[in-house]
Amino acid sequence: METKINFRPTKKQNKVFELFNDSDTTEVIYGGALGAGKSYLIASLLVMKCLQFEGIRIGLARNNITTLKKTTVTSIQEVMQDWGITQDYYSYNSQAGIIKFFNDSEIILVELDYLPSDPQYTRLGGLLLTFGVIDEAGEVPAKGKEIFQSRIGRWQNAKLKVKPFLLMTCNPSKNFLFTDYYRPFKEGNLKDYQKFIQALPSDNPYLSQQYIDNLRNTLTLNERRRLLGGEWEFADDETSLFKYEDVMYAFDLSMNNNKDNIYRLSCDIAFTSDKCVYMVWEGTTIKKIHISPKNDTKTVEDTIKDLCSTYNIRTDNISYDADGVGKYLRQYFPSAKEIHNNGKTILNDGYSNLKTELYFKLSELVKDGKLKIEDQSYKQEIIDELSVIRHKSRDSMQNKVELISKIEMKKILSYSPDIADAMAYGMIFHLKKNTMTANNFVFMNI
């Protein structure tokens, strides 16, 4: 069967087709702004390859399959209609989530949302794909991306002479895309098999000026910089406790008057994870960050004693995570302050638990420029970890302000924000009656 295809890609979209055919590239990130033609790119690539290769199997994934059907599948149908491809050429089984073409090529819809009942994505175990596409990859957990990628390159790649290619489209976000692709792209450190195509509205000649003007008039300044300018550093939303520019100011030591000559120590104790974090403070200045890997032979109590000796820290100026294994420290440091994450708040000011209250106090200090970080050994980790600290949306909260769960943070970050937790535990020494309350804080544009 033959049909004439009216294919009109932008220069940036056409670059993806070129990379599909080269010998080296197996991962491509496309987008980074609204109006970059992401949907048209996906639809065109999938339909064209299904027509080109008999029996190919392409995975089309998104975080939520219902949204995938309403958006991306609709774009695929629009492209086929524009190209004159009628239902004589294909069939769509919405219930099974499969678009099948006359030549036995298939587009298989895949949901990558994290399910507590299936944290290892075993539901994808039998999936055999030639190549794959993830739409709006900024919504997808890192684990979901990894498992989905492990299923491509497993269906007739040698016969079809198609490499195990993965295309991900996105808007700027603070998840694995930022750490694994955008930052290396900006620093010139992308791996040889990875490519990042920054596509902006200005790269799309088919986009109306009216659409761009409407976005400029309706988006906030940060959203304009992120969604129109493609500036990933401003990928914060209204539930974020820490803005990027505020966190960056914490590393600016040109003016630092936040010391009180009293040294304190906050600790995140986690024997079952990768590391324990110890943080030495002077006032609201972080002087030293010490991280012990899991295989460190030195005991936790010995590490705390050494740091206390070095910095002349009294044991009543120690705070530590007392949930789980941390509770055993009580016998060694009975005057230290125990932090029970789900415990009662100090000021009874509208937070759901103590950990939420501590994080909001930390956010207040960062926002006001009162927190400084002298030890910058873990600068990037701190930036990344604070970016995932968010409170639940107003609609999902009941009567008190609450952070999103640690599981949700790990989904975004791909690991536990242990350094950020140690920073929050240091706030136990700075809660005062004049602390900003949750009722005042949550309804501001944080």
Strand order in the sheet with 98-101: 90-93, 98-101, 106-111, 57-62, 131-134, 166-170, 27-31, 194-198
Tokens of 329: 């420290």
Alpha carbon separation from 391 to 281, 408, 425 (Å, rounded): 26, 11, 17
Q: Could you read off the pLDDT of 252-282 as tens digits, one per residue?
A: 998 777 677 899 999 998 765 568 999 999 9
Q: Give the chain's radius of gyration (CA, Å).
A: 25
Q: Which is more confident, 52 or 434?
A: 52
Segment 326-350 shows an average pLDDT of: 87
- Residue 24 clears pLDDT 80, i.e. is over it: yes
Q: Measure Cα distances from 223 to 83, 242, 440 in Å.
A: 35, 15, 23
Three-state SS string over 355-386 comes to: HHHHHHHHHHHHHCCCCEECCCCCHHHHHHHH
When pLDDT is cut at 50, 70 and 90, the band that residue 7 belongs to is: confident
C-alpha distances (whole Å) from 150 to each of 19, 127, 134, 226 are: 20, 9, 13, 31
How are beta strands 27-31 and 57-62 bridged, if at all?
unpaired
Structural tokens at position 346:
């100090």
Considering the four listed CATH numbers 3.90.1150.10, 3.10.129.10, 3.40.50.300, 3.30.70.600, the one that applies to the domain covering 11-234 is 3.40.50.300
Q: What is the pLDDT of residue 311?
A: 96
Give the residue, 215 or 56, on which the prediction is more confident: 56
Does 36 score more than 90 pLDDT? Answer: no
- Residue 434 confidence (pLDDT) above 50: no
pLDDT for the residue 200: 86
- Beta strands 90-93 and 98-101 are antiparallel
Task: Indicate the pLDDT class of residue 54, thresholds 50, 70 and 90.
Answer: very high
Structure tokens at 274: 């990768």
* CA angle (323 as vertex; 265, 436 as ends), nearest 5: 60
- Secondary structure letter of residue 325 according to DSSP: G
pLDDT of residue 33: 80
Q: Is the pLDDT of residue 335 over 70?
A: yes
E strands along 361-423, which residues? Answer: 372-373
- Confidence at residue 278, expressed as pLDDT on a 0 to 100 scale: 96
Domain residue ranges in the chain: 11-234, 244-441
> Which band of pLDDT confidence, cut at 50, 70 and 90, is reported for residue 34?
confident
Q: Check whether 318 has a pLDDT greater than 70.
A: yes
Judged by average pLDDT, the poorest of 22-26, 88-92, 290-294, 405-409 is 290-294
- Percentage with pLDDT > 70 across the chain: 90
Lowest mean pLDDT among 4-8, 337-341, 351-355, 388-392: 4-8
pLDDT digits over 69-115, tens only? 999 999 999 999 999 898 889 999 999 999 999 999 999 999 999 88
- pLDDT score for 408: 84
Stated length of the chain: 446
3-state percent breakdown (helix, strand, coil) of the chain, nearest 5: 40, 20, 45
Question: CA 285, CA 364: separation in Å to the nearest integer?
Answer: 14
Average pLDDT, the chain: 87
Question: Could you tell me if 99 and 76 are in contact, meaning their C-beta atoms sit under 8 angstroms apart?
Answer: yes
User: pTM of the entire structure?
Assistant: 0.67
**Which of the four CATH numbers 3.40.30.10, 3.90.330.10, 1.10.1740.110, 3.30.420.240 does domain 244-441 have?**
3.30.420.240
> Is a pLDDT exceeding 50 seen at residue 446?
no
Going by pLDDT thresholds of 50, 70 and 90, the confidence category of residue 124 is very high
CA distance 155 to 108: 13
Amino acid 394: pLDDT: 62
**What tokens does 238 get?**
């209204």
In this prediction, residues 206-217 reach a mean pLDDT of 81
What are the phi and psi torsion angles at 163 (to 5°)?
-75, 160
